Amino acid sequence: MCAKATMEDFEAMLNESLELDTPNEGSVVTGKVIAIEAGQAIIDIGYKMEGRVELKEFANPGEAPDISIGDEVEVYLDRVENARGEAVISRDKARREAAWDRLEKAYADENRVEGAIFGRVKGGFTVDLGGAVAFLPGSQVDVRPVRDAGPLMGLKQPFQILKMDRRRGNIVVSRRAILEESRAEQRAEVIAKLAEGQVVDGVVKNITEYGAFVDLGGVDGLLHVTDMAWRRVNHPSEIVTIGETLKVQVIKINKDTHRISLGIKQLQADPWDAVERNYMLGSVHKGRVTNITDYGAFVELEPGVEGLVHVSEMSWTKKNVHPGKIVSTSQEVEVMVLEIDSAKRRVSLGLKQTMRNPWELFEETHPVGTQIEGEVKNITEFGLFVGLEGDIDGMVHLSDLSWDQRGEEAIQEFRKGDMVQAVVTEVDTDKERISLSIKALENDSFSDAVEGVKRGSIVTCAVTAIEDGGIEVEYNGMKSFIRRSDLARDRADQRPERFGVGDKVDARVTSVDSKTRRLGLSIKAREIAEEKEAVEQYGSSDAGASLGDILGAALKDRN
């Protein structure tokens, strides 16, 4: 009875001992390396249990296994016994479990963790965090896109955990966050030492279309293209090159954004300080065309000093023409200083002012009355435009085309490209107009015919035609027409048929119109004038003399 009790007690104690000392599956246990063979380490984890682990599980990415006999290592117990009677253990799982505990604490405390990039996957890289594998997105590798990640592979460096899920086994880390934090601290430290107006050394790191980024020792400043030189700079590469060390002046510091504006031209004398002294109004200078726009051309007088030649100041004769048809980029030209505005840093220049005004020159060489020859450039409803010396035009008005024809009729005889001769009748340099006359080449037959004739004169004409409305007469080769009502004082005598072709008649001049080239004549007006004159000279009907007596006396006296 006693012996039986002792055996039961011993069995209970043995079972209790096994339950207490035998580790649970799925836990991390400490074992000792007792042998290394066939690429595996044999580890005694106690409790009369041994297991095998591949040597590669003892190696960090890119390194050789670091394990020797006698080393104590932690392993993960998957199963107490397999088919061969050995414990199934894993070094990787043990490291992973320990790593996850450590990483969860670091993530909760927002601490950095150390790891090494060991592989490339779609969209990024894999990172070993001392047993746990994390994903590093490509956008989180550096503050700027990385073209070659080779130098970063296998290098132990700090990372920031962005997200982790132990149940799914996902960890996302960032190297960029570490760099930005470090960069921000460094920037703040460097910026604290800088002051506006300070001159510092910097290295050109990058060049863009609008300027260059200069490293000031941990912080970048922007050297804008407009602050590189006083002159016009088309591209920053004209002034600086990548890797070049420069002396720059700190123009502005934004404490909030940590942006720094730099300048080179501020270290040089401003050429505008001497512009008014060097470029007097009305003075002529040589310059180089640097830019052409729709409204004019910019001309560089010296590095840093440019002036604008407005399109209206480019040519005396070429109106409404694009500046590019008058000058070309890089062309050297002579210009005159027209206006200076130092406050706005503007110089107005003139190109045409360096050449003689062609209208003034024409007036000097072709005074009024000069005969010229030119090509008909254009025909309009009001006259002809004739090309003249100096690339200018003169106009022949309709009224100056012919003495004998109306302008509308005379202009039909001309064609574009015809060579014509004309006489200069007027030059207006202010309005840039030259008036010409073709008819002035010939004497005016009308003027010759009526020379000395004025209104009220009595002329003798020859009847050339009889019409119902009056008679056509000729005086000195000039045709005129006496209307029926002007044929006689008395209505009974106002009959055209009482005249014959070839008859000579005396008529009074009522008008001399040079424009219409017409001589106004009236027999009636002559008779009335003669009657009035006779009455004044020989008496009046009031004195007892009859009108017939008076006229008879006047006729007798005339005879």
3-state DSSP of 219-245: CEEEEEHHHCCCCCCCCHHHCCCCCCE
Give the tokens for residue 482: 């006496």
Helices 547-558 and 523-538: crossing angle in degrees, nearest 10, is: 100
Question: For position 48, what pLDDT does the model report?
Answer: 72
67 with 31: CB under 8 angstroms? no
Q: Select from 83, 171, 85 the least CA-distant residue to 130.
A: 171
Same domain, 299 and 370: no
Cβ–Cβ contacts within 10 Å for residue 390, how many?
Answer: 16
Same domain, 208 and 176: no
More confident of the two residues 551 and 182: 182
**If pLDDT is split at 50, 70 and 90, which confidence band does 327 have?**
very high
312 in helix, strand or coil? Answer: helix
In a domain, 12, yes or no: no
Mean pLDDT of the chain, nearest integer: 82
151 in helix, strand or coil? Answer: helix
In a domain, 32, yes or no: yes
Query: Final residue of a domain: which of 330, 353, 376?
Result: 353
Q: Select from 372, 358, 365 the least CA-distant residue to 319.
A: 358
Same domain, 522 and 453: yes
DSSP notation for 180-230: HHHHHHHHHHHHHH--TT-EEEEEEEEE-SSEEEEE-SSSEEEEEGGGT-S
Among 36-45, 203-212, 530-539, which range has the highest average pLDDT? Answer: 203-212
Same domain, 300 and 348: yes
Q: Which range among 87-91, 198-202, 305-309 shows the weakest confidence by mean pLDDT? A: 87-91
Same domain, 28 and 68: yes
Query: Final residue of a domain: which of 85, 109, 133?
Result: 109
Q: Which domain holds residue 526?
A: 446-537
Q: Residues 182, 187, 190, CA angle at the centre, nearest 5°? A: 125
Same domain, 115 and 103: no
**If pLDDT is split at 50, 70 and 90, which confidence band does 97 have?**
confident
Same domain, 384 and 348: no
**If pLDDT is split at 50, 70 and 90, which confidence band does 174 have?**
very high
pLDDT exceeds 70 at position 245: yes
Gyration radius of the chain over CA positions: 58
What are phi and psi for residue 319, nearest 5 degrees? -100, 150
- pLDDT tens-digit readout, 143-158: 777 778 888 888 889 9
- pLDDT tens-digit readout, 374-433: 999 999 988 999 999 888 899 999 888 887 778 888 889 899 999 989 999 999 988 889
16 CB-contact burial (10 Å; exposed 0-12 / middle 13-18 / buried 19+): exposed
More confident of the two residues 132 and 43: 132
In a domain, 555, yes or no: no
Question: What is the dihedral sign for C-alpha 216, 178, 138, 258?
Answer: negative
Same domain, 302 and 343: yes
Q: Which helix (H) or strand (E) holds 529?
A: helix 523-538
CATH of the domain at 414: 2.40.50.140
pLDDT exceeds 80 at position 318: yes
Same domain, 450 and 530: yes
Question: For position 259, what pLDDT does the model report?
Answer: 84
Query: Final residue of a domain: which of 409, 437, 465?
Result: 437
In a domain, 545, yes or no: no
Q: Which helix (H) or strand (E) holds 177?
A: helix 176-193
CA distance 497 to 465: 10
Q: Please, what's the b/e burial string for 253-286 (b: 16 or more CB within 10 A of its CB; e: otherwise)?
A: beeeeeebbbbbbeeeeebeeebeeebeeeeebe
**If pLDDT is split at 50, 70 and 90, which confidence band does 5 have?**
low
The count of structural domains within the chain is 6
DSSP single-letter state for residue 111: -
In a domain, 186, yes or no: no
Same domain, 487 and 532: yes
In a domain, 493, yes or no: yes
Query: How much is the pTM?
Result: 0.47
% of the chain at pLDDT higher than 90: 22
% of the chain at pLDDT higher than 70: 86
pLDDT exceeds 50 at position 541: no
Q: Please, what's the b/e burial string for 349-362 (b: 16 or more CB within 10 A of its CB; e: otherwise)?
A: bbbbbeeeebbebb
Torsion of CA 245, 246, 250, 251, to 10 degrees: -130
Same domain, 115 and 104: no
pLDDT exceeds 50 at position 544: no
Taking CB atoms within 8 Å and a gap of at least 24, the contacts of 29-33 are 29/74, 29/75, 29/77, 29/89, 30/72, 30/73, 30/74, 30/75, 31/72, 31/73, 31/74, 31/75, 31/89, 32/70, 32/71, 32/72, 32/73, 33/67, 33/68, 33/69, 33/70, 33/71, 33/72, 33/73
Same domain, 105 and 118: no
- pLDDT tens-digit readout, 16-64: 554 445 566 656 777 787 788 877 877 777 777 777 877 777 776 667 7
In a domain, 185, yes or no: no
pLDDT exceeds 80 at position 4: no
CA distance 170 to 484: 124
pLDDT mean over 532-544: 64
In a domain, 68, yes or no: yes
